[in-house]
Amino acid sequence: MISMLGNKHVLIIIIILVFSFIGAQSTSQFYHKNPNQVYAGDEILLSVTMFASDPIISGMLFFRSKNQISYQEIPMIYAGGNWEASIPGRNVTGEGIEYVIILHKRSWGRISIPMVDDPFDSPLFISISPKEIDEKLNVVNSKRNKPIDNENYVDADILILSPEPASINRPDEIVVAVSLFNTDIVDTSNYRVMINGKDFTNETIIEGGILTLVPNELSIGPKTVRMLFKTSYGLNIIPVEWSFNVTKGMVDVAESLKYKGSLGANSTNSSASGINLVENENNGRLDAELSWVKARYSYKNSSRESPYLQPLNRETLTLQVTDYLKLEYGDVYPSLSPFLLDGKRVRGRHIHVDLPWLDFQYVRGKLNEQVDYKKGKTNGGYSFLPNDTEFGLDGNRIFKFTRTGYTFPQDISALRLSFSVFNLFSGGFHFLKAKDDFEDLPQYINEDELFTFTPQDSILDSVYIFNDYINDNSELKFKEFKNLTTLYGDSIFIPTSDWGGCLS
């Protein structure tokens, strides 16, 4: 068969198939084809075919003209195995239509089309082309749009006041109004007012040459107003007809926001070996949800929080965008691998992208926070190393110290990437980098801190034992000991790294 068609025909078929695939959004969960290009005034039918086992309970189509701010909404219906919605032809104008489809699963979760982090910032686009109208088509359309002559339609100068044609309006702000000031042939007792085919005549008022209608809150979607008038002699007046849209627009964000929260507190009192330990704790949580994103903020504060211990307070912000992107900030507990991170607390951020064929996780933050020495505690900041004392070339001694009572901040970066190809092949790799940031801790601290001096030679060390600075517990201030070493020709050495006395 292929040989009969020839290479040229085969190439044409391949090109058609490739472009047909490019114009479609297809995953293991659904198939949707973007119309790409339509003609102005034609109705656009959009459909989504689902493959996922988790059923869809509802869907919503959001659309707008190119470069408009807010979206209009049309509920989708399930027909013929597909979820469908149509954009009316009267809205198919301008340079193009941008649209987003949100499908709600029976279980928690939503599917967005297009499948991107922020579909409303990257909507799908349909290009609109003007219709090619020839003279014959113009004749047909003019006959179709003009009233039949033998029905005696007459023209009247009736001015549309509100809503403006093709405008976007909130359902609780709609007032339908036309002006009859410029015509005196209208019979104000014989007319009909309809919206989308429903008769609202009994709710209208004509007063002072203005016909007004304040309908009960209209449903979301495009609306068409049609007004039928007659003259005082019973002749039909050309119908007044225009369309507008009802949508909650951008204001709907606040109204569609669902949220809940909780606050709690507890107090514990425990005793061990005659030591009482009292801890007070308060916590809270706030959950918020929009149509395609969920957020959660939680915190826990403890009365045991101290600058001399690793943090006990916890604070986390989680954002879940559809089912495919999860962002966590604050105190996170990622689980990348038993060999990397498996539920250990990290203060930083965690990004998780979970697609049908790709799983990506990235973590960056601190495993340990910086802890400084406890001021006023003997040997809490400096510790004397008597066994490491050395003699210099000039015969003077070099007293060695180390820093104590600290914890280096430990930075961590971790990455996990796994993928599968048609469920036939899978692979991935892991990466972990952890580093103690010792440069953040100072080499020298407050010189008023005390340390214990241990003499090695009663004769050589007599000047450091018998003086006005040392107390009965052989404790000296670092500043005073430094002055004594300078006075007697000795010196002090503190290394820049490899300190002892690190807190666990």
Enumerate the H helices of 260-337 as residue ranges: none
Cβ–Cβ < 8 Å for 414, 334? yes
pLDDT digits (tens, 9 = 90+) for 98-145: 999 998 887 767 888 888 878 888 889 898 888 654 433 343 333 334
Residues linked to residue 475 through DSSP beta bridges, in sequence order: 452
pLDDT score at 255: 57
Cβ–Cβ < 8 Å for 460, 368? no
Local confidence band at 502 (pLDDT 50, 70, 90 cut-offs) = low
pLDDT digits (tens, 9 = 90+) for 450-491: 999 988 888 888 888 888 888 888 898 999 999 999 988 999
Write out the H or E segment, with its range, that includes residue 12. helix 7-22
Q: Give the DSSP letter string of 56-97.
A: EEEEEEEEEETT-SSPEEEE-EEETTEEEEEE-GGG--SSEE
Rounded Cα distance between 84 and 127, Å, is: 20
Local confidence band at 188 (pLDDT 50, 70, 90 cut-offs) = confident
Rounded Cα distance between 341 and 334, Å, is: 7
Averaged pLDDT score across all residues of the chain: 82
Neighbours of 185 (CB within 10 A): 16
pLDDT score at 214: 92
Q: How far is CA 345 from the centre of its chain?
A: 23
Average pLDDT over residues 82-90: 88
Average pLDDT over residues 1-14: 41
Lowest-pLDDT range, 15-19, 146-150, 255-259, 367-371?
A: 15-19
Local confidence band at 335 (pLDDT 50, 70, 90 cut-offs) = confident
Write out the H or E segment, with its range, that includes residue 131. none
Lowest-pLDDT range, 324-338, 376-390, 434-448?
A: 434-448
3-state helix, strand, coil split of the chain in percent (to 5) is 15, 50, 40
Rounded Cα distance between 82 and 197, Å, is: 28
* pLDDT above 90 for 219: no
Quote the percentage of the chain above a pLDDT of 90.
26
Average pLDDT over residues 249-262: 68
Angle 173-42-81 (CA atoms, 0-180°, nearest 5)?
Answer: 90
pLDDT score at 160: 92
Query: Looking at residue 40, what DSSP letter applies?
Result: T
Write out the H or E segment, with its range, that includes residue 145. helix 135-145
**DSSP-derived 3-state class of residue 178:** strand
Cβ–Cβ < 8 Å for 286, 105? no
Lowest-pLDDT range, 194-198, 221-225, 307-311, 361-365?
A: 307-311
pLDDT score at 301: 94
Average pLDDT over residues 44-49: 89
Closest alpha carbon to 365 in 295, 307, 433, 438: 433
Average pLDDT over residues 185-204: 91
pLDDT score at 194: 94
Rg (CA), the chain: 39
Local confidence band at 21 (pLDDT 50, 70, 90 cut-offs) = very low
Query: Looking at residue 215, what DSSP letter applies?
Result: P
Write out the H or E segment, with its range, that includes residue 397. strand 397-403
Neighbours of 349 (CB within 10 A): 16
- Before 114, cis peptide (omega within 30)? yes
Rounded Cα distance between 30 and 47, Å, is: 10
pLDDT score at 150: 40
User: How many Cα atoms are found within 13 Å in the side-chain-facing hemisphere of 234?
Assistant: 0
* pLDDT above 50 for 200: yes
Residue with tokens 């001399």: 308
User: How many Cα atoms are found within 13 Å in the side-chain-facing hemisphere of 226?
Assistant: 9
pLDDT score at 152: 60
pLDDT score at 458: 80
In sequence order, the 6+-apart residues with CB closer than 8 A to the CB of 99 are 46, 61, 62, 63, 64, 87, 123, 124, 126
Local confidence band at 253 (pLDDT 50, 70, 90 cut-offs) = low
Characterize 461-476 residue by residue with b for buried, 16 or more Cβ atoms within 10 angstroms of its Cβ, and e for exposed: beebeeeeebeeeeeb
* pLDDT above 80 for 198: yes
Write the CA distances from 445 to 222, 321, 366, 389, 403, integer angstroms: 72, 47, 24, 21, 9
* pLDDT above 60 for 147: no
* pLDDT above 50 for 503: yes
The most confident of the ranges 250-254, 379-383, 438-442, 500-504 is 379-383
pLDDT digits (tens, 9 = 90+) for 281-327: 999 999 998 877 899 999 999 998 887 788 889 999 999 988 889 99
pLDDT digits (tens, 9 = 90+) for 354-391: 888 888 999 999 988 888 777 878 888 888 998 888 89
